Amino acid sequence: MSQSISSPKAEQVVSVDVSQAKALLQSGHQYLDVRTQEEFKRGHCQATKIVNIPYMVNTPQGGRGKNQDFLEQVSSLLNPADDILVGCQSGARSLNATTELLAAGYKKVRNVGGGYMAWVDHSFPINKEEPSAN
């Protein structure tokens, strides 16, 4: 008797380039920016459905560690059935986050290869949340 059940680890991360990501965002995909809040406020891709949930957070020791509440925070805002693009600064954190989301049952998540830096390199529209000068 053979088994054809695949384990979650068998899920392959699908990466899209920023041109594909831009088209997918225009067709209604969610964008999950996994950079820190500080990075997000300095600038992020323009998307109608965008959320910022850091994958790595600053630690009291001054470094960065994994956000232990990442999956819980994502599941409070996004549905496992949603079409989700996961992006970060260069594509490394988002690759890890996408892998974790696939293992947690999110079926339609894709990594944005090159991340925000590639988005800027293509001169695609960005939003900045600059502090107001009083």
CA-nearest of 55, 73, 51 to 65 is 55
CB 120 within 8 A of CB 97: no
Helix ranges (DSSP H) in the chain: 18-26, 37-42, 70-77, 92-103, 115-121
Amino acid identity for residue 122 in this structure: H
- Tell me which residues are annotated as active site: 88
DSSP annotation of 73 reads H
